[in-house]
Structure 1
Amino acid sequence: GIVEGLMTTVHAITATQKTVDGPSSKDWRGGRAASFNIIPSSTGAAKAVGKVLPVLNGKLTGMSFRVPTVDVSVVDLTVRLEKKATYDQIKAAIKEESEG
């Protein structure tokens, strides 16, 4: 099983971001021009996973990066496991869980 993990999301700019540098009421990073900067941000994705998969509740931490592109999304999940596992064992476990 998973002991703990870090979920990093990378996604395109959003309509709520600034088009040019300016003040942000949320945080200083939010004031950077979206089309020229990679902007670190918070994300609720890790908490959402814990709600959907209760076995992971409280085990994941998340961070996000907004990148200057119109269409992209990726998630990187790094975890610490309870015991050693090979790549093939991990693939088999994911396949088994995905099939219910």
Structure 2
Amino acid sequence: KKEKINAALKKAAEGKMKGILQYTEDPIVSQDIVHTEVSSIVDGLSTLAIGKTAKVLSWYDNEWGFSNRMVEMASRMF
């Protein structure tokens, strides 16, 4: 299950969510994501699946990623 979840998230990050979602299997800490332009980075090493329950860990820089999405939206409007 863990592999299927990670594969789906990786596919999304490389496809229709590219530039918004990122996927990594590298060890990551909070300092690694400061000023990251994507909205969220999925930590594939931390994904857990037990029975019908799954836990996915995703990192984000709440100011920088959000600001980038707002700039994208504004540029589409004008």
Give the TM-score of the pair, scaled to structure 1. 0.27
Structure index of larger Rg: 1
More strand by share: 1
User: RCO (CA 8 Å, sep 6+): is it higher in 1 or 2?
Assistant: 1
TM-score normalised to structure 2 length: 0.32
Higher percent of residues as helix: 2
